Amino acid sequence: MKLKRIHFYLIVLVGVVLAQFALMRAASVVTALPPRPTVAPTPRPDKGGQIELQVEGAAADVWTLVQWQDAQGDWHDVDGWQGSLDDGRSKIWWVGEAHLGAGPFRWVVLGENNLTEISEPFDLPALPDEKVIVTISLD
C-alpha cells in the first residue's frame, strides 16, 4: 500500500512537471505583437497674421523695408523685414502672435535712383489669420 502511494505521488509529480514544461513551451511560442508606429504629435501652428505691400508700377530692382515709430516720433527699420519684392509686385511678412495689434508701422520703398515712396502709417493685424494690405504707387 505504501508502495502504491509512492507510485501515485511520483506519477502526480511527473505529471505536474510535464504540465509546467508544456505551459512554458506554449508561452514561448506566442510571439509578441508587432511594434506600433510612433505617431508624432501634430505641431500647433503659430497664431499670427501678415502684412503685405502691393506695389503698382514696380520695377524689378525695388527694395522694401518696414519701419516702426517710437514714442518720440522717430522711425526705425524693423530687423528682418527688408527685402526685394517676392513676385515683382508684392512683399509679405509674417507677424507673430506677440506683435498683433502693435503700431504704428510704415512701408518704405526704395526704387531706381534711390527714389523713395513711403506708405501711410498702419498697425499690424489685430487678430490671428488677419492680413493688413498696403498699396504704394510708383507712377
Greater confidence, 80 or 8? Answer: 80
For residue range 95-127, what is the model confidence (pLDDT) as tens digits?
999 999 999 999 999 877 676 889 999 999 999
For residue range 46-97, what is the model confidence (pLDDT) as tens digits?
789 999 999 988 666 789 999 999 999 999 999 999 999 988 889 999 999 9
Residue ranges and CATH numbers for the domains of the chain are 48-137 (2.60.40.1120)
Backbone angles phi and psi of 68, in degrees to 5: -120, 155
Strands 63-69, 48-56: pairing kind: unpaired
Residues found in the chain: 139
Strand partners, 21: none
Q: What is the pTM of this model?
A: 0.66
Backbone angles phi and psi of 63, in degrees to 5: -115, 135
Assess whether the previous peptide bond of 104 is cis (omega < 30° from 0).
yes
